[in-house]
């Protein structure tokens, strides 16, 4: 089957990120980080909703009744259906304006991992990878990250992938599915050889890793042993994050960037739109739901 690449809806984002398929509702969520918006659309495009947040949005995960959101300073619960304001769960960066939350993903057990990135002066404090447990507690898993990115998990959940974008490296960790602890960091892939730093990533049902090559206008697919097995050229610049969704999880949705507010800007007329890729011959995995809405704390 030939690979088919098209646009998903007419919507444009300044900094599209964190696509997330909700299989129960049959909708795609994503964020426009700089515009501080969370968006939702049906796969046919006839339904579109958006919620404006009080801070920049890093990433989102499915909750038991809504979404769990990583805003600039920490983790929040968002009641989507009642259009409520985000309620704080844990705010580890409340008093640190030098960083903001960025990429995040739920593990297979429903814990939410999200990392921070430096903003402004390059000499500011480095980013941290946090784990939000289902009881609302928050733990540090990794430190000294410039831009935390490409978070995703192997199908069994016992391997964690994480990139520090400015290094151009994707790391693999052993991940304890019972405790959520990480160990044994080793190099998985160096995307600089492909002409780009790594951005967001996802895992397919075969355990291959799909990574957005944001500077090269391509996606790369890596085997579980780190071998590059496929690249796909894209019709618009600055792909930021892929996620599988749609019927049978066989469509790969990709967010893109029009203006990151820093280095990445494009005057392409379709910059910032979402892409939908079909005919890949693989499917994705359903995302776990986080249960932290029941443990909100100030």
Q: Just list the catalytic residues.
A: 199
> How crowded is residue 24: how many other Cβ atoms within 10 Å of its Cβ?
8
Question: 3-class DSSP state for residue 174?
Answer: strand
> How crowded is residue 100: how many other Cβ atoms within 10 Å of its Cβ?
22
d(CA 139, CA 257): 30
Backbone phi, psi, residue 193, to 5°? -70, -15
Token digits for 292? 């932290």
d(CA 283, CA 197): 25
Per the CB < 8 A criterion, the answer to whether 250 and 283 are in contact is yes
Token digits for 261? 């507010």
């Amino acid at each position: 089957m030939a690979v088919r690449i098209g646009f998903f809806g007419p919507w444009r984002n300044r900094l599209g990120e964190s696509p997330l398929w909700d299989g129960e509702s049959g909708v795609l969520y994503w964020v426009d980080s700089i515009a501080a918006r969370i968006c939702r659309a049906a796969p046919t495009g006839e339904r579109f909703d958006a919620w404006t947040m009080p801070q920049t949005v890093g990433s989102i995960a499915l909750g038991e009744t809504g979404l769990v959101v990583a805003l600039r300073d920490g983790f929040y619960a968002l009641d989507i259906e009642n259009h409520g304001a985000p309620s704080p769960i844990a705010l580890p960066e409340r008093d640190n304006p030098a960083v903001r939350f960025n990429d995040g993903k739920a593990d297979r057990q429903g814990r939410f991992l999200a990392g921070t990135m430096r903003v402004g002066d390059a000499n500011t404090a480095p980013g941290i990878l946090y784990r939000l447990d289902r009881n609302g507690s928050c733990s540090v898993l990794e430190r000294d990250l410039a831009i935390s990115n490409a978070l995703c998990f192997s199908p069994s959940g016992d391997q964690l992938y994480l990139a520090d974008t400015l290094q151009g490296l994707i790391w693999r960790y052993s991940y304890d599915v019972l405790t959520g602890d990480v160990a044994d960091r080793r190099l998985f892939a160096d995307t600089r050889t492909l002409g780009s730093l790594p951005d967001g990533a996802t895992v397919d049902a075969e355990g291959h890793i799909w990574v957005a090559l944001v500077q090269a206008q391509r996606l790369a697919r890596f085997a579980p042993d780190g071998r590059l097995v496929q690249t796909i050229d894209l019709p618009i610049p600055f792909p930021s994050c892929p996620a599988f969704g749609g019927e049978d999880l066989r469509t790969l949705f990709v967010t893109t960037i029009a203006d990151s507010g820093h280095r990445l800007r494009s005057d392409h007329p379709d910059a910032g739109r979402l892409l939908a890729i079909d005919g890949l011959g693989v499917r994705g995995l359903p995302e776990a739901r986080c249960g932290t809405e029941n443990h909100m704390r100030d």
